[in-house]
Amino acid sequence: MRLVREYAAQGEAARSPRKKVRACLVPHAGYVYSGRVAGAVYGCIELPRSIILLGVRHQPRGERAAILSSGAWRTPLGDAPIDSGLAAEVQKACPLLREDEVAHRGEHSLEVQLPFLQVLVPEFTFVPIALGTVRFEELTEIGEALGQVLAKHPEVLLLTTSDLNHYEDEATTRGKDQKAIERLLALDARGLFDVCRREEISMCGLGPAVAMLTALNSLGPAQAELVRHATSADVSGDRNSVVGYAGMHFS
């Protein structure tokens, strides 16, 4: 809890009042590596009580587009309840999403966001979605469906999580990260997908990010802002094998 408050306070200091946004992108590594980047985003935006949490399925098990529509997730800070009503609307809009707890079991990309939310907006509810698919047509179908739901519920935040390039040297990673960030800032879903494939950018949350950009584009003109970019080398000092992290919001 202390780290969460410390990291979020850095974002609060950088921007006051907090900004109302439609979506955000935050990393999901261990807090010591990426917590400052995530906190910079959380600290500078308005966090509503209802959130769609869109992440990647790192493990091979489970449905390639998985949702959970009931229950709660438990962290050391208590239970975080799922918004069953909103989850039902998302499922109705997107038949590709299948109810599946296997895809969520042991998956950290969504889980590590919950303590931030529990501290900063204690009464929040959420809808967890984990994507294992990297098929562009499926990602755009999911994104368009999410856009339909967000159009009906403008108060809901689409919270998307991804790390950027993995396990190359610092210079290579920063160069590849910049190419991905440019497409994110341009709200270019196809361009992001293509540049990651062409340049071999190992962005683990490429699928969720493509779906997020598709949803935003379906809602009309949007603005993107890079809040913070960092790599694991900033903490570890190891510049030979690093992971990149970006914190962004979209209004």
What is residue 26's three-state secondary structure? strand
> Would you say residue 77 has pLDDT above 80?
yes
Partners of 166 in beta bridges: 243
Asked if 180 and 155 touch (Cβ cutoff 8 Å), the reply is no
Q: pLDDT confidence of 169, banded at 50, 70, 90?
A: very high
Measure CA of the first residue to CA of the last residue in the chain; give whole Å. 28
pLDDT for 63 beyond 80 = yes
**pLDDT tens, residue by residue, 24-56:** 999 999 899 999 999 999 999 999 999 999 999
Q: What local confidence, expressed as pLDDT, does residue 105 receive?
A: 82
Which of 4-8, 153-157, 171-175, 214-218 has the weakest average pLDDT? 4-8
Question: Average pLDDT of 134-153?
Answer: 96
What is the rounded CA–CA span in Å between residue 219 and residue 230? 30
Map tokens 């809901």 to a residue.
Answer: 156
Looking at residue 55, what is its pLDDT?
A: 95
Higher pLDDT, residue 9 or 205: 205
Alpha helices (runs of H) in the chain, residue ranges in sequence order: 2-14, 31-44, 84-93, 108-111, 114-120, 136-152, 170-185, 189-198, 206-218, 233-236
User: How many whole angstroms from its chain centre is CA 91?
Assistant: 19
Q: Would you say 23 and 215 are in contact if contact means Cβ atoms under 8 Å apart?
A: yes
Span 173-182, pLDDT tens digits: 999 999 999 9
**Pairing between β-strand 224-231 and β-strand 157-161 as defined by DSSP bridges:** unpaired
Is the pLDDT at 221 greater than 60? The verdict is yes
Read off the amino acid at residue 143: G
Question: What sign does the dihedral 57-141-98-27 (CA atoms) show?
Answer: positive
10: confidence class by pLDDT, cuts 50, 70, 90: low
Average pLDDT over residues 110-132: 95
- Using a pLDDT cut of 90, give the percent of the chain over it: 84
Closest CA to 212 of 58, 59, 25: 25
Predicted pLDDT at 101 = 83
pTM: 0.94
Would you say 109 and 55 are in contact if contact means Cβ atoms under 8 Å apart? yes
What pLDDT score was predicted for residue 16? 64
Q: Give the residue-averaged pLDDT of 104-111.
A: 85
Using CA atoms, how far apart are residues 129 and 160, in angstroms rounded to an integer? 10
What average pLDDT score do residues 58-71 get? 88
Strand partners, 128: 53
Q: Confidence class of residue 1 from pLDDT cuts 50, 70 and 90?
A: low
Residue 129 phi, psi dihedral angles, 5° rounding: -130, 125
Q: Is pLDDT of 5 > 60? A: yes
The torsion angles phi and psi of 80, rounded to 5 degrees, stand at -110, 110
For 85-102, how does the pLDDT look when each residue is reduced to its tens digit (9 = 90+)?
999 999 999 999 999 887
Task: Please compute the mean of the pLDDT values over residues 144-161 and round it to a whole number.
Answer: 98
Mean pLDDT of 206-231: 96
